[in-house]
Amino acid sequence: MARFVSPITDMKPNGSLRFFKSGTNSTLVTYKDELETPGLENPVIVPVLANGNIQNVFFSGSAKVIYLDEFGVQYAERDPVGGDRELGDFSLWDAAVTYDINDIVETSDGKFYQSLSNGNVGNDPTLTPTSWKEIRFIEMWNENVIYAVGKVVQTADGNLWKAVVSTVGNDPSTDSGSNWLPAVDLPNVLNDTNTVIPQTVSGTLTALRVNELQDGGAFNMPLASSVSANQVIIITQPDEFVSFVPVVTISGVDTITDSTGTDSSITFNNTQSVEITLTSDGVSNWGL
R_g over Cα of the chain:
32
- Beta 274-280 vs 232-237: how paired, if at all? antiparallel
Q: How far apart are CA 105 and CA 107, in angstroms?
A: 7
What is residue 242's predicted lDDT score, i.e. its pLDDT? 94
- The CATH number that applies at residue 72 is 2.170.14.10
**81 and 96 together in one domain:** no
CB–CB of 221/257 below 8 Å? no
Per-residue pLDDT of 152-166, as tens digits, reads 999 988 888 999 899
**219 and 250 together in one domain:** yes
* Cβ within 8 Å of residue 189, ≥6 positions away: 182, 208, 231, 232
What is residue 285's predicted lDDT score, i.e. its pLDDT? 96
Displacement of CA 63 from its chain's centroid (Å): 32
What is residue 188's predicted lDDT score, i.e. its pLDDT? 46
Position with higher pLDDT, 18 vs 186: 18
Does a cis peptide bond (omega within 30 degrees of 0) precede residue 80? yes
CB–CB of 75/68 below 8 Å? yes
Of all residues in the chain, what percent carry a pLDDT higher than 90?
43
**6 and 30 together in one domain:** yes
Q: How many helices (H) and strands (E) does the chain have?
A: 1, 24
Q: What is the mean pLDDT of the chain?
A: 85
Per-residue pLDDT of 16-70, as tens digits, reads 899 888 778 888 888 888 788 887 776 677 665 555 567 788 888 778 899 988 8
**Does the pLDDT value for residue 191 go beyond 60?**
no
Q: How far apart are CA 277 and CA 115, in angstroms?
A: 45
Of all residues in the chain, what percent carry a pLDDT higher than 70?
89
**129 and 144 together in one domain:** no
What is residue 193's predicted lDDT score, i.e. its pLDDT? 45
Predicted TM-score (pTM) of this structure: 0.39
Q: Which helix or strand (DSSP H or E) is residue 269 part of? A: none
Q: How confident is the model at residue 2 (pLDDT cuts 50, 70, 90)?
A: confident
**15 and 75 together in one domain:** yes
DSSP 239: G
**Does the pLDDT value for residue 80 go beyond 50?**
yes
CB–CB of 2/58 below 8 Å? yes
What is residue 248's predicted lDDT score, i.e. its pLDDT? 97
What is residue 192's predicted lDDT score, i.e. its pLDDT? 45
Give the chain's largest Cα–Cα span.
Answer: 104
Choose among 40, 68, 43, 72: nearest CA to 56: 40
Q: How far apart are CA 94 and CA 107, in angstroms?
A: 9
146: containing domain: 138-183
Per the structure, the count of domains in the chain is 4
**30 and 92 together in one domain:** no
Across residues 70-90, what is the average pLDDT? 75
Per-residue pLDDT of 118-132, as tens digits, reads 878 899 999 999 999
What is residue 52's predicted lDDT score, i.e. its pLDDT? 54
Choose among 177, 235, 238: nearest CA to 206: 235
Per-residue pLDDT of 96-120, as tens digits, reads 677 778 888 899 888 899 999 887 8
- The CATH number that applies at residue 131 is 2.10.10.20
Q: How confident is the model at residue 83 (pLDDT cuts 50, 70, 90)?
A: low
**48 and 124 together in one domain:** no
As to burial, measured by CB atoms within 10 angstroms (0-12 exposed, 13-18 middle, 19+ buried), residue 207 is buried
